[in-house]
Structure 1
Amino acid sequence: MDLHLSELDQHFTLPKTRKVGADRPLVWLKLGMNDLMQHPGPSLTYGLLITAFGWLILSLVDPRGHFFTSLITGFLLLSPLAAAGIYELTSEREEGRTTSFIQSLRDAGKNLSQVAFLGVILGMVAIAWERVSAILFALLYGGEVPAGTSLLAALTGEYLNFTLIWVAAGFLLACFVFALTAVSIPMLADREVDSVTAMMTSLRAVAENLSTMAIWAAIIVALTAIGFATYLIGLIVIFPLLGHATWYAYKDLIE
């Protein structure tokens, strides 16, 4: 791993990263909750918007097909971009400025081109995953889930081997995207850096803190699962909470 990191240094001038303890994710959550309580109105507005967007996606697709899982994956990939405004709320408070939803939107646009470029990359990843899912589902069912079959039932039983392949591919994709974006989006909101530098820095921070970031990823997955289990209503609070906590993760990991 050290060899790979030294190779990064040869090609990119990256900000320095820190190694942190395995207990830090819980600290990030605590600090994130404190921030949420400091300006609940603007923070929860972001939660309401992302929840409404999620409801829109759920209303547009048949929950039995591969397109449903692909759109949900795309939602999970792209929704962290919406947290750029949440990072600005914390930044405004740290600088002693008045926090507001509108002002956070304005501040989030200061490095918009690089954030948009990162969004394009994530969008391409989402499209690629949709194509992979389409191929796997075509192999399973000739292109569609049999009528009257729930998605859970369709992915078990005689199709278990394919299911394991599908889940494994999704897991690897999720790990890669998490490593790319763990701190890159708050970095773009905080500094005048390009998206490639931000992503490479994020990769380095994750590589140097594998156990800690694995815990952090597990917390994100667990809280997001709660959000989905409540038909996205829980995301009204969970989304801004994770957004604020991610800001503190970035501040902790990057000098």
Structure 2
Amino acid sequence: MAAPLAHDPVPGASVPPNTPESGHAPDSAEASRLRLAPLHFSDPWRWLARGAADLIAAPGIALFYGVCFWGMALLLGWVFRSNPEYTMSIASGCLLLGPFLAMGLYDASRRRELGLKPELGRSIVCWDQHMGSMAMLVLVLMVLELIWGRASLVVFAVFFNTGMPSTTGVIQAVFNPENWEFVAVYTVVGGIFASLVFSIAVVSIPMILDRDTDAITAAITSIRVVLGHTGVMLFWGALITVLVALALWPWGLGLVLLGPWLGHATWHAYRGAVQWPGSSPASPEPTSTQA
């Protein structure tokens, strides 16, 4: 007789409050009592391992979202090569769509953690119960992205007073040792905005899905996690950056695997960093067994 899979519903198991399965409305006072869990430099590797387990447990869902991420990367690369002046506009669209796609992966990991079977159809529409908070958070991210783009144009204007360089000119400028001052300033400006976006989004979207908190509370909690565990979260961000850079070659094909993998891992990063009142720390990685 086959033993039940770890992600199958567990008979008699209670569903935690503040979840769609429980029908419990979120308590705003509860968010003020959450605690930040202690983190260690080994935790990002644990998040990746648990994300890989989720990916293997629901390969169809992972493939769907992986192809979506890959398509976004191909579109962005094509626009950058053919019409670089529209790159920021397309990037804004990707920034708008990306969090909603990522939320579907968080939903799959969350359901598996609850002992429920992940479902593609449910993951696609899981954001509809959190539209208000998601819209506000995405708006904040888009404003930051637009300011980031404007700051980048200012840097180009300062160092290239003859006009905005073409795509080839940008690549040549970046790899030209004589333009080290431009590269340094551009890197610092980009790093500041990238850090802001990362700090706001690193656990906020999983938190909105999990507890239906408002965007401001979720963003502040996310920033608290980064400020409270700066070293670990910088390591996590650097690890994500390196993995994404490797996945972009060739033709960004690696995003088909890496996109959903990081999505699942981000859910576990949230569960490992944030503890709610009355809840226990994140449970050990679920495993699937058969007799």
TM bracket, shorter-chain basis: 0.7 to 0.9
Which of 183, 187, 190 is the aligned partner of 1:167?
Answer: 187
- TM-score by length of structure 1 reads 0.86
CA contact (8 A) 1:19 1:208 kept: no
**2:110 corresponds to which residue?**
91
Larger Rg computed on CA atoms:
2
Q: Aligned pair 1:232/2:252, yes or no? A: yes
How many Å separate the matches in 1 of 2:63 and 2:266?
Answer: 16
CA contact (8 A) 1:55 1:232 kept: yes
- TM-score by length of structure 2 reads 0.76
1:114: Cα distance to partner? 0.7
Q: Deviations over 1:67-105 (max 9, x none)?
A: 54x468657755344200100011222233332211112
Which of 241, 257, 261 is the aligned partner of 1:221?
Answer: 241
Superposed, 1:86-235 pairs within 5 Å as 86-141=105-160, 142-145=162-165, 149-155=168-174, 156-235=176-255
One-letter identity of the residue aligned with 2:227: A
* Cα 1:189–1:42 shift into 2, 3 Å: same
Q: % of aligned pairs identical?
A: 29
Q: Point out where structure 1 has 5 or more consecutive residues left out of the alignment.
A: 1-11
CA contact (8 A) 2:72 2:94 kept: no
Give the aligned length: 242
CA contact (8 A) 1:67 1:130 kept: no
Q: Point out where structure 2 has 5 or more consecutive residues left out of the alignment.
A: 1-30, 276-291
1:211: Cα distance to partner? 1.4
Q: Secondary structure at the match of 1:229?
A: coil
CA contact (8 A) 1:14 1:197 kept: no
Give the 4+ runs in structure 1 shifted more than 6 A.
none
Q: Aligned-residue CA RMSD in angstroms? A: 2.3
Q: Deviations over 1:184-234 (max 9, x none)?
A: 010011112101000100111111111111111111001111122222110
Structure with greater proportional helix content: 1
How many Å separate the matches in 1 of 2:128 and 2:33?
Answer: 23
* Cα 1:76–1:230 shift into 2, 3 Å: farther
1:176: Cα distance to partner? 1.6
CA contact (8 A) 2:100 2:127 kept: no
